[in-house]
Amino acid sequence: MILRRIVIALAAVVTAAATLHAADDLPSILISRQLSESEHIAVGDVVRLSASADGTSPRPFRVSGVYEPTPDPARLGAVIREVQLHLPDLLTLTREPGIPAGSEYVQTINVALVDPADAAAFSREIQARMPGVSAQPATGAAESTGPFLVLRRFHLAIAIVTIVASTVFLLALTIMLVDERRAAVGVLRLIGLPIRRIIVQLFIEGALIATIGSLFGLVLSLVSEGLINRFFQWRYDTALVFVHVTPEVAAICVAIAVPLGVSATVVASWALLRRNGLRLARR
């Protein structure tokens, strides 16, 4: 196991931002972009931090950098005013008087494995060896938590309703389009083309239209992906990605849309083709 990084975010209170020249011997901190913008703190500034709300026992720190916080859907809409300290500095700042150094605890330890594929086995082993400690692979952790599962189900339900509405409209349209070609189909029947041959032709037509429509839909979704992401990123001041058209999602869309389009064409044509050729050709 390689312990690579321990990062603790401190919900500290910035009690004062001084524009003093940076003192090299001061401990360094990183501040979030939002905090930098809202409090007008720049790299090199010296700030005083206190762990208590009333600002008692403040300690000076030098701002060595400004960072973009890792996007967190659970904090959507919140202005992330955050400071990152070196762990020993944080423990010194937050330690109660009379508590000996070294008796503190941390909430989370982030672990980088040599082989990320071992994450599941590693977490099982940790939980078996250290009862009371929860170890969870970072990959997929977000999707496995309640809010994201619920949102996924919600979006799936919306998608199903949209597909149902589209199917109904598609059927209405194909019925009209097939009906428009009633006379042409009647003539084809009268000149001897079997029903099977005409159905194959309509099937190919339906498949072509559905494929082109699906591709157009994918292009539209890729364009709107950028627009939606840009809008929501601007709206919530976050780097979070809201819409991501993955190859899997695109494949599922095509796999649903093409058979639906073809089925609608064939179903709409079937009622027409059962009629007599003369009736179809009659004006």
Rounded distance between C-alpha atoms, residue 186 and residue 198, angstroms: 10
Where does the chain have alpha helices with state H?
A: 33-39, 87-94, 119-129, 141-144, 146-180, 182-190, 195-236, 247-273, 277-281
Which of residues 78 and 252 has its CB atom nearest to another protein in the complex? 78
Bridge partners of 13, per DSSP, are 50
Q: Which of 21, 124, 235, 275 binds another protein (CB under 8 A)?
A: 235
Looking at 26-34, 114-122, 152-160, 254-262, which segment touches another protein (CB under 8 A)? Answer: 152-160
Q: Which of 157, 204, 208, 241 binds another protein (CB under 8 A)?
A: 157
Which of residues 103 and 246 has its CB atom nearest to another protein in the complex? 103
Q: Which of 142, 164, 222, 239 binds another protein (CB under 8 A)?
A: 164
Cα distances (Å, whole numbers) of residue 119 to 111, 141, 144: 10, 12, 15
Q: Which of 42, 99, 109, 165 binds another protein (CB under 8 A)?
A: 165
Query: Binding string, 41-70, against another protein, x = CB under 8 A?
Result: ------------x-----------------
Cβ 253 vs Cβ 211: under 8 Å:
no
C-beta of 114: minimal distance to another protein in Å? 32
Rounded distance between C-alpha atoms, residue 275 and residue 186, angstroms: 9
Rounded distance between C-alpha atoms, residue 138 and residue 110, angstroms: 9
C-beta of 146: minimal distance to another protein in Å? 4
Which of residues 146 and 247 has its CB atom nearest to another protein in the complex? 146
Cα 53–Cα 59–Cα 62 angle in degrees, nearest 5: 115
Looking at 2-10, 113-121, 166-174, 184-192, which segment touches another protein (CB under 8 A)? Answer: 166-174
Q: Is 162 in the site for another protein (CB under 8 A)?
A: yes
Burial of 128 from C-beta contacts in 10 A (0-12 / 13-18 / 19+): exposed
Residue in the structure block whose two tokens are 């913008």: 37
Which of residues 224 and 276 has its CB atom nearest to another protein in the complex? 224
Cα distances (Å, whole numbers) of residue 135 to 79, 125, 139, 196: 29, 9, 12, 61
Query: Binding string, 168-197, against another protein, x = CB under 8 A?
Result: xx-xxx-xxx-xx-----------------
The residue count for binding another protein (CB under 8 A) is 34
Query: Binding string, 72-111, against another protein, x = CB under 8 A?
Result: --xxxxx--------------------------x------
Cβ 237 vs Cβ 34: under 8 Å:
yes
Cβ 244 vs Cβ 225: under 8 Å:
yes
Cα 11–Cα 12–Cα 14 angle in degrees, nearest 5: 135
Q: Is 232 in the site for another protein (CB under 8 A)?
A: yes
- Provide the binding-site residues for another protein, judged by CB under 8 A: 53, 74-78, 105, 146-147, 149-151, 153-154, 157-158, 161-162, 164-166, 168-169, 171-173, 175-177, 179-180, 228, 232, 235
